Amino acid sequence: MNENDNLKSKIDAIVKVLEQTKNPATNNSLLEDQAVEEISPLGEDNILITLNLQVDKKTAFAVEASIRTELSRHNIDSSKVKINYKTEPAATHGSENTMPPRVKKLENVKHVIAIASGKGGVGKSTVSSNLAAAMAKKGYKTGLIDADIYGPSIGKMFGHPGKVELQILDEKKIIPLEKHGIKVMSFAFLLDESQAVIWRGPMLGKALEQMLFDVKWGELDFLIIDLPPGTGDTQLSLAQFVALEGALIVTTPQDVAVQDAMRAVSMFEKINIPIMGIIENMTEFLCPHCGEGTKIFSEGGGENLSAKSGAALLGKIPLSIALMSSAEKGKPAVIENLEENENEIIKKSHAAVIEAYDNIAVNIEKKIRS
């Protein structure tokens, strides 16, 4: 094992310990509460953990003691781990249904909307980028955050798959990439691939907070956040940091996708984020040869999820080659101009995709006005 592997496995073990240690103020794990500000190498083979605990000093000592006991149980030399903590007078947490204490509003951004699903590969990133494009096409000032650290794909969909040299202003604000009239930020713009692995767990919340608040978004009507699959850390961090208008849940038509999507719905309900609506993706495959639609993933998923969750079905998007190939070309399909001499069936399929997204955009406008 080389030094880097050693460090990585030590940090992984520490993350596990912190995952299991409770924050006495909330009874959640320290990670869940974003109480871990930093885990970083310190000198030769020491590690520094910085905690932000909303408890008094005495309770913080007890937390430290319990972390040290657990570290020893995991065969980590606790004398080589320095634990710093900021303590604050215990915060008033109010009733269960209040927003978490650190939620901030993003200045000058009217609507922050998260795109989520319980399941991977259902089309969240495709929906996020095309919806952002549909909103921008309507004249709204639109931003898009790729909050998926493990599988960022928004950059690729906008023609910038890797690290991007972004301008940083004096006041340490990053200027986002501007592409097709949309302001875009992704973890992938900031990191080399090899760095991503160390930015897990506790660092993730910090990185997400920076992505929201240290980026010069300027005035925006909509900021769309493409979430990773599942109901993990990123979703919880997001709910802790920023006041969200709500979440849009993407599902595909089959039952199993609906079950997974329902898990995402329940999680958002638990953390008091309203479900703004359901989007069914891959409703029917539009054949590029004959133009016929085939419901290859069964049907009814969007309606079922809408009935179960009580959130409106905002639209259905066909499974179309236009959507896949435009993602590969780095321009969302809804703003892509096809060649004049393109095959008529492909043109029709492309038009169906545009219509689907335009409808969803109108439904979101209605939702926001209601």
Ligand X SMILES: Nc1ncnc2c1ncn2[C@@H]1O[C@H](COP(=O)(O)OP(=O)(O)OP(=O)(O)O)[C@@H](O)[C@H]1O
Q: Which residues of this protein are in contact with Mg ion, per CB under 5 A?
A: 124-125, 153
- Which of 38, 79, 108, 151 lies at the binding interface for ligand X (CB under 6 A)? 151
**Range 91-100, long-range pairs (CB < 8 A, 24+ positions):** 91/25, 91/54, 93/25, 93/26, 97/272, 98/272, 99/243, 99/272, 100/239, 100/240, 100/271
CA distance 212 to 130: 21
Which window, 95-103, 267-275, 314-322, 342-350, contacts ligand X (CB under 6 A)?
Answer: 314-322
Q: Which is nearer to ligand X, 29 or 254 (CB)?
A: 254
CA distance 334 to 323: 8
Contact call for residue 126 and ligand X (CB under 6 A): yes
Residue nearest Mg ion (C-beta atom): 125
Q: Using the 8-state DSSP alphabet, how is residue 364 labeled?
A: H
Contact call for residue 218 and ligand X (CB under 6 A): no
Residue 159's binding partner among Mg ion, ligand X, none (Cβ under 5 to 8 angstroms by kind) is none
Kindly state the smallest distance separating residue 64's Cβ from Mg ion, in Å. Answer: 38
Terminal-to-terminal C-alpha distance of the chain: 59
Give which of 86, 84, 75 is closest to 12, Cα–Cα. 75
Question: What six digits make up the tokens of 168?
Answer: 């940083």
Question: What six digits make up the tokens of 363?
Answer: 């439904």
Q: Which is nearer to ligand X, 241 or 357 (CB)?
A: 357
Question: What six digits make up the tokens of 310?
Answer: 């009580």
The 225-264 contact track toward ligand X, x by CB under 6 A, reads: ---xx-----------------------------------
Other CB atoms within a 10 A radius of the CB of residue 195 amount to 11
Residue 319's binding partner among Mg ion, ligand X, none (Cβ under 5 to 8 angstroms by kind) is ligand X
Kindly state the smallest distance separating residue 145's Cβ from Mg ion, in Å. Answer: 12
Contact call for residue 208 and ligand X (CB under 6 A): no
Kindly state the smallest distance separating residue 364's Cβ from ligand X, in Å. Answer: 18
- Which of 35, 36, 106, 122 lies at the binding interface for ligand X (CB under 6 A)? 122
